[in-house]
Amino acid sequence: MAGLYGVIGDPISHSMSPLMHNAAFEKLGIEGSYHPFHVRKENLENAIRGVKALGIKGMNVTIPHKTAVMEYLDQIDPLAEKIGAVNTIVNDEGTLTGYNTDGLGFIKGLKEFAQESIEMKRVLIIGAGGAAKAIYYSLAEQGISKIDICNRTKEKAELLKTRRSSFVQTEVLSLDSVQTNLGLYDIIIQTTSIGMNPKIGEKPLNVAMIKENAIVSDIIYNPLETSLLKQAKELGARTQNGLDMFVYQGALSFEKWTGRNPDINTMKEIVLTQLGGQHVNR
C-alpha cells in the first residue's frame, strides 16, 4: 500500500511541498503520495488524531501551526524543543515525533552555496520570527559564535537571545542602527516576510553598506530574486534565495519518513519550473 504523507497549514493552497515531495517519490520509485490539508486552528488537535487514526506516515506542518502542534505529539526532538517549533512529524507505528528541519535545511543550503567553512564567520540575522528562530539555534548548534539579530520588534529579538546557548555572542540591533554597520558581517540572512510576492518592491533595510563579497541569503523564494538580493548583487555580494532552504528542509523531512535520500535536483527543478524562473544564486 502506498504511504500517505501531507502538509497541514492555513492557508495551504499555495504550498509547493506536494509538488516537490511527489516528484521525489516518483524519482525514487517509492509508492508514496503527499497531499495538502487545510487545517484551521480549532481543528488542529483532531487533525493530529487523524494522522494516527489513518496511519499517515509523515506530515509537514506550516504556518500557523508549527508551535501549537507540539502539545499534540508524543515526543519532540531536542532541537525542535529548543526552537519551539515543529515542521516535520514522523509517525512510527502510532508514536508521533516532532522535528524541525527548517534551520538545518537552511544551513545545508548555505554551506553548499558558500563552498567554504562558515564557522568563523560573523553573521547577521534580519528578523526574529519562526524561521529566524530555527536558523539562529541551528547555526549555534553548528558552532557559529557571533550571530547578531535585528528585528522591527526588538523585544522578540531579545527573547531569542535570552534562550541562546552560552557560547554564542549576540547583539540585538534595530533595523535602523544596523544599516550603517552592515560592513561588519560576512553573512547576512534575511528572514522577514518583507519583499515576498506580491509586495516585491519592499526591503526590510538598505544594504548599501555591505562588505564586498559578503554572502546575502534571503529565505524568500517567491520572487526568486527579492529587491534586497538585487541591491546586494549590484554591490558585489554573493546572493542566495530561499529555494535551497525550501528544498533541503523538505529533503530532511523526506529522509526521516522514508530513510532514503531524495534527488535534490529533481525537487529543485520542479519548484523552479512552477515559479517560472531561473536560478539566480551566484
Is residue 134 annotated as involved in ligand binding?
Answer: no
How many other C-beta atoms lie within 10 A of the C-beta of residue 13? 7
Q: Is 213 exposed, middle or buried (0-12, 13-18, 19+ CB in 10 A)?
A: exposed
Q: Indicate whether 130 belongs to the interface with ligand NAP (CB under 6 A).
A: yes
Residue 129 annotated in ligand binding: yes
Q: Is 227 in the site for ligand NAP (CB under 6 A)?
A: no
When asked if residue 205 is in the footprint of ligand NAP (CB under 6 A), the reply is no
Choose one: 88-96, 136-144, 242-250, 262-270; the region binding ligand NAP (CB under 6 A). Answer: 242-250
70 is in an annotated binding site: no
Which 8-state DSSP code applies to residue 169?
B
What order of strands is seen across the sheet that includes strand 172-173? 172-173, 146-150, 122-126, 187-190, 215-218, 238-240
Chain CA centroid to CA 53, Å: 29
Helix runs in the chain, H state only: 17-28, 44-54, 78-83, 102-114, 130-141, 154-162, 175-178, 227-234, 243-258, 264-275
Least distance (Å) between residue 55 CB and ligand NAP = 27
x/- track of binding to ligand NAP for residues 136-165 (CB under 6 A)? ---------------xxx--x---------
Q: How far apart are CA 268 and CA 248, in angstroms?
A: 9
Selected range binding ligand NAP among 12-20, 47-55, 121-129, 229-237, rule: CB under 6 A:
121-129
Contact 260, 58 (CB under 8 A): no
The single residue among 32, 58, 98, 242 that binds ligand NAP, judged by CB under 6 A, is: 242
Catalytic annotation, residues: 66
> Residue 73 and residue 70: Cα distance in Å, rounded?
6
Report the binding-site residues.
15-17, 62, 87, 102, 127-131, 151-156, 219, 221, 242, 249
Report the binding-site residues for shikimate.
15-17, 62, 87, 102, 221, 249
Binding site for ligand NAP (CB under 6 A): 63, 102, 127-132, 151-153, 156, 191-194, 196, 204, 219-221, 242, 245-246, 249
